[in-house]
Amino acid sequence: MPDVSWLDLATAALSGGVVVKALDFVYLEYQARKQRTRSAKRFVDENLDPLLKAGDELVGKIRSLAERDFTPLISETFTPSQASISEGYASVAYLFARFWARVDILRREGLYIELSHDQRGKRLLNLIGCLESQPVRIVDRTRQRAIGETFVQTTIGGKLDCITFVEFVEKYERDQRFREWVSPLGQVLARARSRADRQRLLQYGVVVHALLDTLDQEHAVTNDRPSYTNKLSKKTKRTLKYLVFGKYCPFVLNQPKYYGRA
């Protein structure tokens, strides 16, 4: 049996200790990653439904406007700074702002949750990023977030929620500062007579529609709606095909459903 020196024993012991420490570190990191994944999945499961429902109503409204060539907006005269708002404009503005408010609530409540650790969470982040990108958004990103924030309120139980439609109209009519915050959205809707602006609204609706179909494939909380490809211009179709779904959201299934023949 060969002689074993104290140095050899010490080296072996030290090496073994390093290996054990390394294995402990790897195990702890694995457990932490697993916990983050579970937290992200639980967060998405608990908070996604309100966003999907808000998006579903928004898509339904945009589709209705598309079918009627935006007549409910075009037939009315609206000035964003005036202290009154018609029901037609109010209903559209409310649905856009409520959807943005739900996105804002997700941001606030998910500040410390790594959504990218959940597959749906990762796709949700990509789709929201797409909706806020320059080619898709209908108002500036900062103003959009500000509008969303103005629609968020804290309930008695400390939960974040959206103001109701009646609260929106009453606040709009009595609070000039509130009207100023919301005015960028009103200005977009007031330009609905312009074909280019209508196309931006339609394009935005298409991306929200894709978000619903992607995150609620079984349509447990949303409606399985048909698209309105016949209302899209060739330019809008190309943007959807090559930029929105080609670059930002390539994971969306059945992409031609949303733009038809580009």
Per this entry, what is the length of the chain? 262
C-alpha to C-alpha distance for 146 and 257, rounded to whole angstroms: 32
The residue among 182, 170, 184 whose CA lies nearest residue 98 is 182
Residue 32 belongs to some domain of the structure? no
- The string of pLDDT tens digits covering residues 231-248 is 999 999 999 999 999 999
Residue 15 belongs to some domain of the structure? no
**Mean pLDDT of the 191-220 span:** 96
Residue 238 belongs to some domain of the structure? yes
Residue 20 belongs to some domain of the structure? no
201, burial (CB in 10 Å: exposed 0-12, middle 13-18, buried 19+): buried
Residue 210 belongs to some domain of the structure? yes
- The string of pLDDT tens digits covering residues 92-124 is 999 999 999 999 998 888 754 667 677 888 899
Q: Is the pLDDT of residue 213 over 70?
A: yes
Number of structural domains the chain divides into = 1
Domain housing 104: 48-259
Residue 6 belongs to some domain of the structure? no
Number of other CB atoms surrounding residue 70 within 10 Å:
23
* Residue 158 falls in which region: left (phi positive, over 0), alpha (psi -120 to 50) or beta: left
7, burial (CB in 10 Å: exposed 0-12, middle 13-18, buried 19+): exposed
And the tokens for 3?
């002689």
pLDDT of residue 28: 55
- Cα distance between the two ends of the chain: 80
C-alpha to C-alpha distance for 14 and 11, rounded to whole angstroms: 5
Vertex 136: Cα angle to 133 and 142 (nearest 5): 50
Residue 14 belongs to some domain of the structure? no
Residue 26 belongs to some domain of the structure? no
Cα separations in angstroms, 53 against 49, 59, 130, 208? 6, 10, 19, 11
C-alpha to C-alpha distance for 40 and 116, rounded to whole angstroms: 8
- The string of pLDDT tens digits covering residues 67-83 is 999 998 998 888 877 88
pLDDT band of 84, cuts 50, 70, 90: confident
And the tokens for 217?
């494939």
What are the residues facing 160 on neighbouring strands? Answer: 154
Check if the beta carbon of residue 77 is closer than 8 Å to that of residue 177.
no
Choice between 156 and 101, residue whose per-residue pLDDT is larger: 101
pLDDT band of 185, cuts 50, 70, 90: very high
pLDDT band of 50, cuts 50, 70, 90: very high
Check if the beta carbon of residue 189 is closer than 8 Å to that of residue 92.
yes
